[in-house]
Chains A and B, each alone.
Chain A
């Protein structure tokens, strides 16, 4: 299902952080948001996933406004992986992932066989089967993140939204995580995420959107968006720092 934003203003307490946003996201694509801290990456992700009501304008899923959907309808369409990492006591990997079945289970949340199949399928997809019986509290950040992703996948959403999913992962886990997302998107679903690190942003996503100065600054392939001058002004990089530390080579950003 197609997600689009129409004349959207997003922010907190009626004060927009971003305004005049018109975007539509294609199925089967991974779109990443970049931008400096506080520019509104999380704000836009929270708004387009229905967690935060728009200040004005609309978020459309197909031809329906998000605000017209019930909580359960929304949860069956959009799943989230957030920056916050819950500290969980006495919970196994399987129990965490099975939480994703919330919009499908009955009154007491008891898993039926189709739910168990979905959980097992999601664990397989992320290569997290070996974590099913282990306690979350004894896991690494990468393992926990994998389970939170499995949880979102077994929610069977059309749209997967991830806020800074690579933040606590090393490069090996980042790439592993990304390839899972890629496979998920290739099944005809939409993946939206925010990225902090420009190295990742330059290589991985199909589409890159730069957020800053209260709106969308650039939108295109990573090659189009990651123009040195644009990055310089978007992140307010000081001239002396720019000359000293940053160079561009074959579409990748380095700290030299």
Chain B
């Protein structure tokens, strides 16, 4: 019976993701019927539809898949690491750390480098994410309970955001053009070169995260038990933090801050599977995060069209209530 449930969850997630993906290729200021979307994807279709889909909507939709999947998996890993169901890259200030580092690179180097490579942005975001994670980790040893970690993370996020605001305020106009949109959390302006870099980073980090399923499962029992069963705790913790930082860094580098995906989606994935076994929850988190971001990005484009709202406000609208639900209904492990 359990196997059937797991299969059904994966089937449903895949079907919904494909549907949302196709919809986001077809819907927009120019509506393209599904039949034409499909013919463009198979190499045919009209000139206009081809250029809209292949140059504008598809890189954006693929980026939404990558960003959503990355944030969701990153969130699940942080939840494992901190033994806390409301840990996530946004709420713990890790996204803000990544964003600050990207802002620094964009503002300082925009003048000297004509074209800033995607890898430079990912690298900067990774450094910022690691810095924030280190601070949260230091704070976590001094606070008690789920809410304490949350408050510490939010405060660390505020500090990074304040620095970012400061930098943006004093940056020259040209740089602000780069930062605009991205700074609010948006997938607009996605192009294939960025998508390629993001997919390489996300797929590699996602793959290695999946390979950590086994020790992550043991770690659910706590550090001491995991150690007694043969987990190399030190190496495992380092790998977990590095991989979750890479994943949230890629998301922050290409989409800016996108809120709550990393908490809400792994939680819902676990709830629907009825287990926290990482070997199942990691792929399910990726799919549900991707589905959520593609759908929210579509909503961000369409609901108030032609005005586009930031994707983060849409993800927050749907994600924050889930976080509240978790806060009211779940107990953290370890520190109580």
Contacts and interface: CB of A to CB of B under 8 A. Distances in A.
Contacts of A74: 230
Given A71-B231, A87-B333, A89-B330, A107 B274 contact: no
Nearest to B271: A90
Interface residues of A, number: 30
Contact of A91 (B228, B271, B275): B275
Interface in B215-241: 217-218, 220-222, 224-225, 227-232
A103 B229 CA distance: 6
B45 interface: no
B332 interface: yes
Nearest to B85: A89
A87 B225 contact: no
A103 B279 contact: no
A51 B336 CA distance: 24
Interface in A89-107: 89-92, 95-96, 99-100, 102-103, 105, 107
B230 A75 contact: yes
Contact of B228 (A75, A88, A90, A107): A75
A109 B280 CA distance: 12
Interface in B187-238: 210-211, 213-214, 217-218, 220-222, 224-225, 227-232
A90 B80 CA distance: 13
B225 A80 contact: yes
Contacts of B229: 75, 99-100, 102-103, 155
A39 B115 CA distance: 66
Chain A, interface SS category: loop
Nearest to B276: A90
B254 to A, nearest CB: 29
Contacts of B111: none
A24 B336 CA distance: 39
A123 interface: no
B245 to A, nearest CB: 23
A82 B214 contact: no
22 contacts: A71-B232, A74-B230, A78-B228, A79-B228, A80-B224, A80-B228, A82-B224, A86-B334, A88-B333, A89-B85, A91-B220, A91-B276, A95-B275, A99-B221, A99-B225, A103-B230, A107-B214, A108-B211, A109-B213, A109-B214, A109-B279, A155-B229
